[in-house]
Structure 1
Amino acid sequence: MHTLKVDSVQLAFNDRKILQDVYLHCNQGEVIGLLGRNGSGKSSLLKIIFGTLTPSYKYVGIDDEFIHYGYLNNRIAYLSQDSYLPRGIKISDLAAMLIDQLYWDDFANLDIYKNHHHKKPEQLSGGELRQLEMLMILCSKADFILLDEPFTHVTPVETQYFKTIIKSISKTKGIIITDHQYYNVLDISDRVILLTDGCTKHLKNVDDLVTYNYLSGIK
């Protein structure tokens, strides 16, 4: 099993420090929940790990080997808040390039794929595209998966379904997930990290979310 480590990330915009004391690690076989208020830098941190945002300093490594760009060699896959599938190419052709053969049979039997494999991304609704892109990321060849707001445009019933898929995929992959629906993140995470004031707080239990003022109280 591989281990992803992120340390000493420093990021500032217009002299405003966004990230300054960040440490986290994620092993294959676990789901890490990343929580934080809007503007705390969660998406920026995921982009830094993936390699599409360059901070003033970072350490990102897999098994203590420094990784400049996580997207190279299928080491890390990233579901951003924006659609990533290129327009004009059939879903079936895109899936053939992205999906790990280990997961191909299961993926090809999913209704969302069977119903839309002959279409192009621009022919799908926002919800359909979000579902398909999330499944393609989860079933990709990457060892580590970063999920940024995966439950956006997804119904409660579909959310429950995807939570089951995420937990199943995490048996072989390391997953870092952030979503404003914190209760769904808590439900599937093995460990939870709070990003606040540019720093990561490794939570011992859910009550720490109140201690660090992320929640005013837990129902």
Structure 2
Amino acid sequence: MLKIDSVQLEYQGRKILHDVYLDCRPGCITGLLGRNGSGKSSLLKIIFGTVMPSYKHINADDKVIETGYTNNTIAYLPQQNYLPKQIPICQLAPMLVDHQAWDEFTALDVYQQFKNQKPSQLSGGELRKLETLMLLYSKASYILLDEPFTHISPVQAEEIKAIIRKRSVYKGFIVTDHQYENILDVSDKVYLLQNGVTKLIKHPEELITYGYLSYNQSRK
């Protein structure tokens, strides 16, 4: 289990995060919702270890960790592209993909189609999908996905969700996206980040109560 507790983050004297708790474990996909600017991306970067908060307590498999990226504990999909632009995909993939999942990953159509190309040669949607899939099949025990459904088609989003569900048997996932429908669909447990605080959402109707969704949005 990955546990994140008591995260405090300030920026220019303003408290961004001050009472945060969430967790994830294999077999249970954790969704994170929140409006733009609520601190979702900052929280994922804190968990990964690239943003240092005022205080945090992060525990992975009963061990306190300072940086999640060490020892393949945590992998993080940022909103921006992360693959080097001029190295062929076939050379990059072995650095990230778990050897135990290599055959399954390399059988994917998107890998077969682009394996001999460089990231700079792919469209934004093609590269986003490929970068997401590399992390889904990565060596990390826990995977943080920031906006995985952005810039891809609805059909591709369904494919990604199916792989997240399949891989969640072995990996812990925290997934956030402004497309809340996809988060509600793929997640077993959902937290709402609002006013620097995380709230466990037990029923979708609570998203209306907390003002994250309007009544009309909830009926779509």
- 1:78 aligned residue: 76
- 2:158 aligned residue: 160
Aligned with residue 209 of structure 1, among 207, 210, 220: 207
Task: Return the offset for 1:89.
Answer: 1.1
Looking at structure 2, the residues matched to 195 and 15 of structure 1 have their Cα atoms a distance apart, in angstroms, of 20
Question: CA offsets per residue over residues 35-71 of structure 1, 9 Å max, x none?
Answer: 0011000000000000000001111111231111101
Question: CA offsets per residue over residues 82-140 of structure 1, 9 Å max, x none?
Answer: 00111221101111111101211111011110011011111111111000000000000
Partner SS, residue 174 of structure 2: strand
Aligned with residue 65 of structure 2, among 63, 67, 87: 67
Task: Return the offset for 1:25.
Answer: 1.2
Partner SS, residue 214 of structure 2: coil
Looking at structure 1, the residues matched to 31 and 106 of structure 2 have their Cα atoms a distance apart, in angstroms, of 28
How many percent identity over aligned positions? 59
Looking at structure 2, the residues matched to 30 and 92 of structure 1 have their Cα atoms a distance apart, in angstroms, of 31
Looking at structure 2, the residues matched to 215 and 190 of structure 1 have their Cα atoms a distance apart, in angstroms, of 19
Looking at structure 1, the residues matched to 201 and 40 of structure 2 have their Cα atoms a distance apart, in angstroms, of 16
Looking at structure 1, the residues matched to 203 and 115 of structure 2 have their Cα atoms a distance apart, in angstroms, of 42
Unaligned 5+ segments in structure 1 are none
Partner SS, residue 171 of structure 1: coil
- Normalised TM-score (structure 1): 0.97
- Root-mean-square deviation (CA), in Å? 0.7
Partner SS, residue 145 of structure 1: strand
Q: Which amino acid aligns with 2:195?
A: D
Query: Which sits farther off after the overlay, 58-67 or 180-189?
Result: 58-67
Where do 4+ consecutive residues of structure 1 move more than 3 Å?
none
Aligned with residue 174 of structure 1, among 149, 172, 175: 172
Q: Which amino acid aligns with 1:39?
A: G
1:90-169 correspondence runs (5 A): 90-169=88-167
Aligned pair count reads 217
Q: Which amino acid aligns with 1:145?
A: I
- 1:49 aligned residue: 47
Looking at structure 2, the residues matched to 28 and 166 of structure 1 have their Cα atoms a distance apart, in angstroms, of 11
Task: Return the offset for 1:211.
Answer: 1.1
